[in-house]
Amino acid sequence: MSQQKHIFHHSFSIKKNDREELHGHKSYILWFTGLSGSGKSTIANLVEKKLHEMGISTYILDGDNLREGINQDLGFSSEDRKENLRRIGEIAKLFVDGGIVTLATFISPYASDREKVRKKVRQGEFIEIYVKCSLEECENRDPKGLYKKARQGEISNFTGVSAPYEEPENPEIIIETNQKSVGECVQQIINYLKHNGYLGN
Amino acid sequence: MSQQKHIFHHSFSIKKNDREELHGHKSYILWFTGLSGSGKSTIANLVEKKLHEMGISTYILDGDNLREGINQDLGFSSEDRKENLRRIGEIAKLFVDGGIVTLATFISPYASDREKVRKKVRQGEFIEIYVKCSLEECENRDPKGLYKKARQGEISNFTGVSAPYEEPENPEIIIETNQKSVGECVQQIINYLKHNGYLGN
């Protein structure tokens, strides 16, 4: 038998609710899902800025700090995408446990992967935000030139072009970035948080 | 080419120093290393409690929340231990970036693995705490009955018995738990943090 079977649970004194009390607000995940180019990072950045100005402790998990760090061993195969999201879900859970409002911006095209993250935390701690934007509009924006490359076959398994995107069926929030301004989308999220008691004291 | 080569860096507005300012203190890693039974979790728990009482945002990473979460796919082979610590290091780095004082309690027997974590963060952000206790004393305490099982061959690759422990050569702090009381050890760490400007405003 290896050491693996012998994990003992230490009882630590400081718990999630102590950290929430110190920070003056609840902790939860704001999960931004949507096509590449839909505006996930832009919106999340501005939401984080607003929350920070209100004195709320926040952190953003995104491709930048994960794909080049903990998930640098993973590619974009279906299996690696699953493992990528599994780890992201576990990290988001740790941050929530740490009393932090955690913003996560990932295309996360599969409903089942998003549901797995939802189930890792308590009810009400996973707020799914569908950043909705038509493929046409995303492709028209193409801020990174990725759609063009995907159409030319230079990138494979590209969500919306050569890989599926499963729309959320019951997200807590839907923001339509090709119908509303960025400012309106941000305000819609802040309003949701306010009206549902997520903004603390 | 897959999507992998196309990571773009979004420029987020809220940075580490903004989060440190909000929390009123710097963020860094307190890395507790030492044999099983040396007292890492006991000491870390009490240090966290003290820091929390001072209004400092903290989080503990330990076997409980990692081995059963993000690292549940890993065993105790030399390779898996390395990967375990690599991921822990990456997560600790994210927490430090999030403005959190991060306590990590892991046997972490190999100096090279600990050094890799140190190199992930900036100078002064990795405080190595060697929780020093003789093997005899740890084995005598044997709070989890693991040494007994290791001696009987029921557990393989057990640090100190059938796997090496490399003592830190230049740790920031050495606490000797078989020479001092728990309270004295905790105070020694708090004093270090105080005298080196780690306790904030």
Mean pLDDT value across residues B116-121: 96
Length of chain B: 201
Q: Is B93 exposed, middle or buried, given 0-12, 13-18 or 19+ CB atoms closer than 10 A?
A: buried
For chain A, give me the number of helices (H) and strands (E)?
8, 5
Q: What radius of gyration do chain B's Cα atoms show?
A: 18
Q: What pLDDT does B7 receive? A: 53
- Residue B186 sits at the chain A interface (C-beta within 8 Å): no
Q: What pLDDT does B4 receive? A: 42
Q: Over the stretch B48-97, which tens digit does the pLDDT of each residue have?
A: 999 999 999 999 999 878 888 899 889 878 888 889 999 999 999 999 99
Q: Over the stretch B150-162, which tens digit does the pLDDT of each residue have?
A: 999 999 889 999 9
Q: Measure CB to CB from residue B91 to each of A18, A70, A100 and give the nearest one.
A: A70
Token duo for residue A9: 């649970």
DSSP state of B159: B
Chain-chain contact of B58 with A87 (C-beta, under 8 angstroms) = no
Beta bridge partners of B199: none
Contacts of residue A166, defined as CB under 8 A and 6 or more positions apart, other chains included, come to: A109, A110, A111
Q: Assess contact for A24 and A69: CB atoms under 8 A.
A: no
Compute the distance between CA of residue A59 and CA of residue A99 in angstroms, rounded to an integer.
10
Q: What pLDDT does B65 receive? A: 80
Q: What radius of gyration do chain A's Cα atoms show?
A: 18
Q: What pLDDT does A106 receive? A: 95
- Residue A60 sits at the chain B interface (C-beta within 8 Å): yes
Beta bridge partners of B121: none
Catalytic residue numbers of A read 108
Q: Measure CB to CB from residue B57 to each of A8, A22, A87 and give the nearest one.
A: A22
Backbone dihedral region for residue B197 (phi beyond 0: left; psi -120 to 50: alpha; all else: beta): left
Q: What pLDDT does B1 receive? A: 41
Compute the distance between CA of residue A196 and CA of residue A25 in angstroms, rounded to an integer.
13
Whether the predicted pLDDT of A49 surpasses 70: yes
Token duo for residue B169: 């050569």
Whether the predicted pLDDT of B99 surpasses 90: yes
Mean pLDDT value across residues B2-30: 82
Q: Measure CB to CB from residue B3 to each of A62, A91, A155 and give the nearest one.
A: A155
pTM of the model: 0.94
Please name the residue ranges forming H helices in chain B: 16-23, 40-53, 63-67, 78-97, 111-120, 135-141, 146-151, 182-195
Supply the ipTM of this predicted assembly: 0.93
Chain-chain contact of B65 with A94 (C-beta, under 8 angstroms) = yes
Contacts of B158 in chain A (CB under 8 A): 3
- Residue B69 sits at the chain A interface (C-beta within 8 Å): yes
